[in-house]
Structure formats: C-alpha cells, structure tokens
Amino acid sequence: MKDELIKGQGIDPERASLLPGMGFFIPESVYREQKEKELETSLKGARLVVITDSDADGLTCAALVQEDQENAICIPTSPYDLGDCLSRVARYIEQEVNMYICDLCPDSVEEIEPGLRELCGKTDFIIWCDHHRWDKNIYDFVESLGVQVELGDSSEECAADVVFRVLNEDFSEKMKELVEVTRDHDLWLCEDDRSGYLADFAMWVPVKEYIEVVREYGADLPEVIISFLEENREEKNDLIRRAINRAEYKKIGEHTVGITYGKCSQNEVAEGIRKEGADVCMIVKPTGGVSIRGSEKFERCHELARMFEGGGHPRAAGCMPIEFSDLLHYANHWISQGEETKKVLIEALETMIRNENAEG
C-alpha cells in the first residue's frame, strides 16, 4: 500500500481523519516479528526492566525507576497487548532481573497468567505500580504469585505518584515537579500548561528520547522541543475540531451523552464535548477502540468499559466494543464513522442506566 494513500501531500484532511494511522496497516505478524527481534536485542544484559503504558504517565514512571540505573530497559505496551508483552519479555530476560510494571491494569487473569507465571519463574523481584481500579480477583491472583502490587487512588494519584512513593528515594526537586505536572494531565486537572506539552511529547517521540529529556530537564522542556510540539499541534488541533464537530448528542435517563468518531486526541475532544453539555463522552476511534470520559455527573466509565472486557477509571476508560471479522468490516466502520460501534455503546449505556434505575 502506498504511504500517500493514508497520509501524504494533497490528501483531504477530512478523509484522513476518518482513517487509522499508518501503523494500523502493518500486519500483526510483521509487527510481532519486529518486536521479537527488538526485545531479544534490547534485553540482553538488562538488569532492570520497566513494562509500562506509553503515555506521559507511564513513561514518567520509567524515568523515575531508571534514574541512575545502568542497563535499564523500558518496554512500552498498552492494556490490549499486556498479556502478549509479558510473555515476550519473559522469553528473553535473564535470571534475577529487577522488574517493574507500571500504569497498566489487567483486564482478566486469563490474559496475564501465562506470561506473568513465566516472569515469576525467572525473578522474584517484580513490583506492579498502578492507579487504575483493579478487580479483586485479579489483585489476589497477581499477589499470589509473589508480585508486590502497589495501587493508588485513581481520583488523587497518577501512576507516577505511586512509583515515586514506592521508591521512596531522595529525588531532586526537578523530578518531584515532573510527577506533579504529569498528574495534572493524567487526572485531567489542566492547571499547568506544561502537562499538555509532556503528553504530546510522549506521543510524538521515541520512548528513549522522552525518558532522557525529562530526566535532564524535568517538566520544563527546552525551547527547541516546544517549537517542535507547537508545529505538530496544528494538525492535532485540526483533528480535535473535526471530531467535536461530528459529535451527536442523546439524552439517556438523566444523562446527556455526546458520541463522536475520528482519529484525534481523546481527552481534548471529550473536554470540547463536555462544554457542549454532555456529561458522558464517547470517542470511537478508526482502529475500533473507544475512549469513554465521564464527569461529576457520571463516574461509571470503568463499569461501562468492563461490559466489553475493557477498563480504566470512573471518569476515564477504554474498550473494544465489537470484534471485526475482516477488512471489509473495518472499511464499513470507516465509511459509516463507527455506526455499529456507536449503536452497541448506546445500547449498553441504556441497559446500565435502566438497571440502575430498577435497583434504585
């Protein structure tokens, strides 16, 4: 497939915003083979490994853990790929490696059991730091393997807060401030402009570069990086506007739901939809995943996501509501702007609210 069909000069921005990014079109078998080779190479000689989410919170966790550590490796992943990532890392790490898992909440015991058991067979030093809400059966299972699980209050702490507290080291003021600014974005407090730059920086540069830069500069990114981020924000803000303009609104019980579709930055889109009066926001992505964002009036995002084997926080969660059968199914998803997914989500929310009213 030609690159310019997905992203190139002259492509209509509106049409481009309806499609996934270029990475989506790489076959999973090719992606896995590439990751296997990268892991095997990078994990040779590693004495400390951090498996973490690839957003600013997760990468700040890695920066804290790796500070002043030699032979430290960061392996970014996502909640959807967590089980496979654990298995791949277990295959290549050496005995007695110190292991941290950060900012990741397992969706089920079955997903993580094979990889985590194998990891525990190679090292007895695994600390899992997170701030999402865990099901008790998952928590009990992970602890039963000898893993130290440290959880924070998702309404008060980001994962970096948990790591900072667990390490209990004499961090510099620069690193303390980095954690505070990371929390500002991850909990969507939006009181410090620097937090938005950190979030974008984590999204647009390689993991290693993010970690190296924040360890040197903390939350005060150098001007050359700020300029780079500002240039990239032109396209980002255009995608945000398009997604907000596509939003449809529906009243379900006492809640106003805003649902939209597109390739975009979900938190900013949710904020725009909230300003239009929605207290439940759903952003359907071209990849098929969904971001659910709540408010003071709706704090059950994680419950809704779990109906589709997803998870997250009371006010922020994610899931994959439908299983795609083939590329034509995906093509219909892009052309219809997620019509099938939207229908399934709305029906699930209606059921949840109807059951809540019945119980009340």
Mean per-residue pLDDT pooled into runs of 10, the chain (360 residues) = 66 90 83 81 91 97 88 90 93 92 94 96 96 94 98 94 93 96 91 95 95 96 96 93 97 96 94 96 97 94 92 88 95 97 97 81
Assess whether 100 and 213 both reside in one domain: yes
Does 63 reside within a domain? yes
Task: Tell me how far apart the alpha carbons of residues 252 and 265 are, in angstroms, rounded to a whole number.
Answer: 25
Assess whether 280 and 216 both reside in one domain: no
Assess whether 121 and 247 both reside in one domain: no
- Per-residue confidence (pLDDT) for residue 236, from 0 to 100: 92
Assess whether 326 and 200 both reside in one domain: no
Instruction: Identify the bridge partners of residue 129 per DSSP, sorted by sequence position.
Output: 102, 150
Does 11 reside within a domain? no
Task: Tell me how far apart the alpha carbons of residues 295 and 256 are, in angstroms, rounded to a whole number.
Answer: 11
Among 221, 249, 265, where does a domain finish?
221
Sorted by sequence, the CB contacts under 8 Å of residue 65 that are 6+ apart come out as 48, 50, 72, 100, 102, 163, 167
Assess whether 217 and 279 both reside in one domain: no
Assess whether 54 and 169 both reside in one domain: yes
For the chain, where are the alpha helices, taking DSSP H only?
13-16, 28-42, 56-66, 82-92, 109-122, 136-144, 159-167, 173-186, 193-204, 207-217, 223-246, 266-275, 301-306, 327-335, 339-359
Assess whether 264 and 301 both reside in one domain: yes
* Predicted TM-score (pTM) of this structure: 0.80
Assess whether 74 and 175 both reside in one domain: yes
Does 227 reside within a domain? no
Does 164 reside within a domain? yes
Does 148 reside within a domain? yes
Beta strands across the sheet bearing 311-312: 248-252, 255-261, 280-284, 290-293, 316-319, 311-312
- Per-residue confidence (pLDDT) for residue 302, from 0 to 100: 92
Assess whether 57 and 156 both reside in one domain: yes
Assess whether 339 and 281 both reside in one domain: yes
| Total structural domains within the chain | 2
The CATH number given to whatever domain includes residue 132 is 3.40.50
Does 16 reside within a domain? no
- The parent domain of residue 284 ranges over 241-359
Q: Which tokens belong to 34?
A: 């590439």
Assess whether 152 and 275 both reside in one domain: no
Task: Tell me how far apart the alpha carbons of residues 245 and 273 are, in angstroms, rounded to a whole number.
Answer: 9
- Per-residue confidence (pLDDT) for residue 9, from 0 to 100: 66
Does 137 reside within a domain? yes
The CATH number given to whatever domain includes residue 298 is 3.10.310.30
Does 23 reside within a domain? no
Among 221, 255, 282, where does a domain finish?
221
Assess whether 209 and 246 both reside in one domain: no
